């Protein structure tokens, strides 16, 4: 008995041991397969990338200019969707496919057959990105659809469920302000992970973060564990730019382009006390959310023409006919985008003209070559070497005996040349370098030329002769950028301190903690505080009694210097106009530099165009900065003027868009201009284009002096374009109220009778007013201009050729040209009132020494044309 029991126990033990061994073998052999099945069933626990969030870009007040918005990628796990199980009758059945297809169709309307075919064609795939950048609302919609499908299956007592579909987090780059400061902010590539232009490119290393990772693994045969390495989000960049000032500048730039237009226009607003850029704008403005879309900027014909030009430049030996139509069009798109994305204010150079006289006088005062008591005799011309260089007052026999201050207020070339002669070329060149000409500014934006390029834009000790010194003294025959000029001008009026211009103010981490503060970088001292004070007084006189009267701002004391430079070739009679100014006179808070390159009018040679633009921008900016007017002129007066200007512009645009139809709406637009204590309204849409009724207009206030403002206006429809004009302006945190829109309402009431006329009559009656800027500007200012440097000069030829001694020799050669297909050339012979140079001896007049606008190819090649070289 005991023997049988022992045998039974032994057999049972052996059987148990065999069973254990067999199970171990099965588990060991199938472990990898089991792990894959378990991980597949927990698809969201697979090892995957966790994307970082790119840092934001804000203006100095926290207004978002670029943000990364969370989006979701729709992932299909075909393996899970196609998992099979056996039914009670032994048939294979997929539990998840049909339910998932129903949810996808219900949430997004996807074609079930199309998705089924896709899934069944990749049954071994656990990851397929079916849709990208879906919103939070899209994700919630799918979750609701899934819940409904699952509940229906539960009610039907089936095992089918929605599985194998999940969402992967991602980020999309979004620009809430659309085109505002587009050249400064820049944009990223299509994936939103790499900066392409502007701040997005320059501070790319700061804005990017580090991706995280989620790992899934088996803790045992059945349980999945996950380990997460969290992503590190990028830091945010706070700019020195003020979005409200930027809006003011862009409004007036756009208005200029609408009313008259020019080949190029640039405006820089700086804080002269620290080098901060408060605003920078050109005619190139584009939607940062769709930067590659050329619709509205170039026609197909223009793109094709650019493409053909690029093809010829890129490969002169290849005929255009050898390219396909698509190749030509693609080349044209590259050139067009390069032109659109180009920042004229920092990438292009030109002769500065008469604003450069400020630096000539400053250097002479610093080196005691002249004093505030110095006098000069202007007889209308100056003999320099073999050249007779005429002053703008030549026709009337010169300016006569003038003091040092008069040399700038009258912009006397004769006296300026005498001052430069007293300095000598060594001193002149020393201060030219001190003021930053011939070297990069070092701004934290891509696209500025390098040092080698700038070195070719100026003369040096070994190639500057007497004529070069004379012409350089009043801004001829050397080139600079807008940014170089604005930065140098800041140092003259701020006490003599040259700060490096910059657009980044702070770096904040993902938690909003300050990581870095960009303190003002003092590069060098240029002039003494005494010289600076004298120049401020002189530039004040230039605006109040001299050539810059058009730059005056009612209620404020401002200073500045005008410029009118004739471009090469002379026979084309094209001009580059400028005004460099500051305000207020006694404690400068802003420098505003305006450049208008070739205005679209037959009578170009009037720097009043630039001066008036300075005045308009400054008039709106100062109250916003809490700098209030004096002499009985109030903020309400300023708002009334701004509202009236906006009304006039809106009515002009209404007529241009659709006759008198939108006049009532235009009144409503302007009514929204008086928003906030110092608000500035941007116009909404106020035209129908039909000539029958005025549509509603609205304006959003830019900001109040004590807060942001907003305003709305509406025009009730009436026959033949008649409309009641009502508007309201509200201040959030400001001190103004709806009463600030009264000027616009009054204007609308006063013109109601005219607005009720037929569209044709209205257009005829207001034609003169609507075209005033383009057609009557010269006539209105002619009397004043004939007494100043702004008078259109006689045709001239600059010196060039081989000479000896102090006679001018061949000028320095220019840098490479190209980028954006920019083929502008030429130069202004002088600053204001172009100098006439009469060659004597054996030196023959020839082409200009320096081009008026030299295009620079930025370090980032965005596909623009390049090649060739030309004298700068």
For residue range 279-337, list pLDDT tens digits in order. Answer: 999 999 999 999 999 999 999 999 999 999 999 988 888 888 889 999 999 999 999 99
Q: Give how far Cα 89 sits from Cα of 84, 85, 92, 158, 639, Å.
A: 14, 11, 9, 15, 85
528-563 residue pLDDT tens: 999 999 999 999 999 999 999 999 999 999 999 999
Is the entire prediction scored with pTM above 0.85? Answer: no
Query: CA-to-CA distance for 179 and 284, rounded, in angstroms?
Result: 10
Mean pLDDT value of segment 487-513 = 97
Q: Name the one residue in this structure whose structure tokens are 């020839």.
A: 846
Name the residue with higher pLDDT: 522 or 607: 522
- Determine the number of helices (DSSP H) and then strands (DSSP E) in the chain: 28, 32
The predicted pLDDT at position 500 comes to 98
Query: CA-to-CA distance for 667 and 694, rounded, in angstroms?
Result: 9
User: Which of 470-479, 650-659, 694-703, 806-815: highest mean pLDDT?
Assistant: 470-479
Rg of the chain in Å (alpha carbons): 35
Query: CA-to-CA distance for 361 and 541, rounded, in angstroms?
Result: 15
Q: Of all residues in the chain, what percent carry a pLDDT higher than 90?
A: 57
The predicted pLDDT at position 25 comes to 65
pLDDT of 807 above 60: no
Query: CA-to-CA distance for 792 and 794, rounded, in angstroms?
Result: 7
The predicted pLDDT at position 637 comes to 81
Q: Name the one residue in this structure whose structure tokens are 């940062």.
A: 288
Query: Tokens representing 178?
Result: 């659309």
Query: Cα 867 to the chain's mean position, in Å?
Result: 26
Query: CA-to-CA distance for 300 and 332, rounded, in angstroms?
Result: 9
Query: Cα 741 to the chain's mean position, in Å?
Result: 30
The predicted pLDDT at position 775 comes to 39
Query: CA-to-CA distance for 770 and 458, rounded, in angstroms?
Result: 43
pLDDT of 712 above 80: no
Query: Cα 184 to the chain's mean position, in Å?
Result: 4
CB proximity list for 770: less than 8 A, separation 6 or greater? 651, 652, 655, 656
Query: CA-to-CA distance for 307 and 300, rounded, in angstroms?
Result: 10
CB contact at 8 A, 236 and 62: no
pLDDT band at 767 (very low <50, low <70, confident <90, very high): very low
401-447 residue pLDDT tens: 999 999 999 999 999 999 999 999 999 999 999 999 999 999 999 99
556-565 residue pLDDT tens: 999 999 999 8
The predicted pLDDT at position 870 comes to 25
Query: CA-to-CA distance for 536 and 533, rounded, in angstroms?
Result: 5
pLDDT of 19 above 80: no
pLDDT band at 676 (very low <50, low <70, confident <90, very high): very low
CB proximity list for 191: less than 8 A, separation 6 or greater? none
Query: CA-to-CA distance for 195 and 535, rounded, in angstroms?
Result: 42
CB contact at 8 A, 441 and 488: no
pLDDT of 850 above 70: no
Query: Cα 244 to the chain's mean position, in Å?
Result: 14
pLDDT band at 863 (very low <50, low <70, confident <90, very high): very low
Query: CA-to-CA distance for 235 and 62, rounded, in angstroms?
Result: 14
The predicted pLDDT at position 631 comes to 74
pLDDT band at 730 (very low <50, low <70, confident <90, very high): very low
Alpha-helical runs (H) found in 162-235: 182-185, 198-202, 204-207
Name the helix (H) or strand (E) containing 370: none
């Amino acid at each position: 008995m005991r023997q049988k029991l022992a045998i039974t126990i032994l057999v049972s033990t052996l059987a148990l041991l065999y069973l254990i061994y067999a199970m171990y073998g099965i588990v060991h052999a199938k472990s990898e397969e089991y792990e894959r099945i378990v991980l597949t069933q927990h698809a969201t626990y697979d090892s995957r990338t966790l994307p970082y969030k790119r840092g934001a870009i804000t203006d100095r007040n926290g207004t978002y200019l670029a943000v990364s918005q969370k989006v979701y990628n729709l992932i299909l796990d075909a393996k899970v969707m196609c998992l099979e199980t056996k039914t009670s009758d032994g048939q294979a059945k997929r539990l998840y496919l049909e339910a998932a297809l129903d949810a996808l169709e219900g949430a997004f309307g996807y074609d079930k057959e199309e998705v089924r075919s896709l899934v069944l064609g990749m049954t071994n795939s656990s990851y397929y990105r079916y849709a990208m950048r879906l919103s939070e609302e899209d994700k919630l919609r799918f979750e609701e659809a899934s819940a409904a499908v699952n509940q229906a299956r539960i009610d039907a007592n089936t095992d089918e469920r929605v599985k194998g579909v999940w969402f992967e987090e991602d980020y999309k780059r979004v620009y809430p302000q659309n085109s505002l400061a587009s050249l400064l902010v820049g944009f990223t590539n299509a994936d939103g992970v790499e900066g392409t232009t502007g701040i997005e490119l320059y501070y790319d290393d700061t804005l990017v973060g580090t991706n995280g990772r989620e790992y899934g693994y088996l803790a045992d045969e059945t349980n999945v564990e996950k380990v997460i390495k969290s992503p590190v989000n990028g830091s945010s960049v706070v700019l020195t730019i003020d979005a409200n000032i930027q809006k003011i500048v862009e409004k007036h730039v756009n208005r200029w382009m609408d009313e008259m237009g020019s080949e190029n226009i640039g405006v820089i607003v700086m804080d002269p006390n620290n080098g901060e850029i408060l605003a920078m704008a050109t005619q190139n403005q584009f939607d940062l959310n769709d930067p590659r879309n050329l619709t509205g900027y170039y026609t197909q014909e223009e793109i094709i023409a650019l493409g053909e030009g690029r093809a010829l430049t890129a490969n002169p030996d290849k005929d255009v006919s050898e390219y396909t139509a698509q190749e030509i069009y693609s080349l044209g798109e590259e050139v067009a985008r390069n032109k659109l994305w180009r920042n004229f204010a920092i990438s292009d150079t030109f002769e500065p003209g008469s604003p450069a006289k400020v630096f000539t006088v400053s250097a002479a005062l610093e080196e005691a070559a002249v004093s505030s008591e110095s006098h000069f005799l202007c007889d209308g011309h100056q003999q320099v070497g073999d050249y007779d260089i005429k002053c703008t007052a030549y026709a009337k026999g010169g300016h006569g005996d003038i003091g040092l201050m008069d040399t700038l207020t009258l912009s006397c070339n004769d006296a300026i040349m005498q001052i430069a002669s007293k300095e000598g070329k060594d001193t002149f060149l020393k201060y030219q370098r001190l003021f930053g000409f011939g070297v990069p500014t070092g701004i934290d934006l891509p696209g500025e030329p390098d040092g080698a390029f700038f070195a070719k834009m100026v003369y040096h000790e070994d190639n500057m002769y007497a004529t070069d010194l004379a012409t350089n003294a009043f801004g001829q025959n050397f080139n600079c950028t807008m940014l170089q000029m604005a930065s140098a001008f800041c140092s003259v009026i701020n006490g003599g301190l040259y700060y490096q211009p910059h657009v980044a103010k702070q770096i904040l981490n993902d938690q909003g903690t300050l990581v870095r503060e960009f303190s003002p970088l003092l590069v060098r001292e240029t002039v003494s505080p005494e010289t600076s004070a004298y120049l401020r007084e002189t530039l004040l006189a230039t605006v109040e009694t001299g050539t810059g009267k058009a730059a005056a701002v009612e209620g404020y004391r401002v200073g500045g210097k005008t410029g009118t430079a004739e471009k090469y070739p002379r026979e084309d009679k094209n001009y580059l106009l400028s005004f460099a100014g500051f305000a207020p006179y006694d404690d400068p808070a802003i420098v505003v530099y305006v450049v208008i390159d070739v205005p679209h009018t037959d009578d170009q040679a009037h720097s009043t165009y630039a001066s008036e633009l300075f005045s308009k921008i400054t008039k709106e900016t100062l109250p916003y900065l809490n700098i209030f007017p004096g002499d009985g002129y109030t903020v309400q007066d300023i708002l009334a003027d701004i509202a009236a200007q906006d009304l006039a512009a809106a009515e002009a645009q209404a007529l241009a868009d659709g006759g008198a139809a939108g006049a009532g709406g235009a009144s409503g637009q302007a009514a929204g201009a008086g928003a906030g204590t110092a608000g500035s309204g941007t116009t909404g849409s106020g035209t129908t284009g039909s000539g029958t009724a005025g549509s509603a207009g609205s304006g959003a206030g830019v900001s109040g002096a004590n807060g942001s403002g907003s305003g709305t206006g509406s025009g009730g429809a009436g026959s033949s374009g008649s409309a009641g004009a009502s508007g309201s302006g509200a201040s959030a945190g400001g001190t103004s109220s709806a009463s600030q829109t009264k000027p616009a309402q009054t204007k609308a009431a006063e013109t109601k009778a005219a607005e009720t006329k037929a569209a044709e009559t209205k257009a005829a009656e207001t034609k003169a007013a609507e075209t005033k800027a383009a057609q009557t500007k010269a006539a209105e200012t002619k009397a004043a201009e004939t007494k100043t440097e702004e008078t259109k000069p006689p045709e001239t030829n600059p010196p060039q050729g081989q000479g000896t001694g102090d006679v001018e020799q061949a000028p320095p050669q220019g840098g490479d040209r190209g980028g954006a297909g920019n083929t502008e050339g030429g130069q202004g012979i002088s600053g204001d009132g172009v100098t006439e140079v009469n060659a004597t001896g054996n030196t023959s007049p020839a082409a200009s020494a320096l081009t008026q606008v030299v295009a620079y190819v930025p370090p980032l090649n965005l596909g623009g044309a390049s090649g060739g070289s030309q004298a700068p």
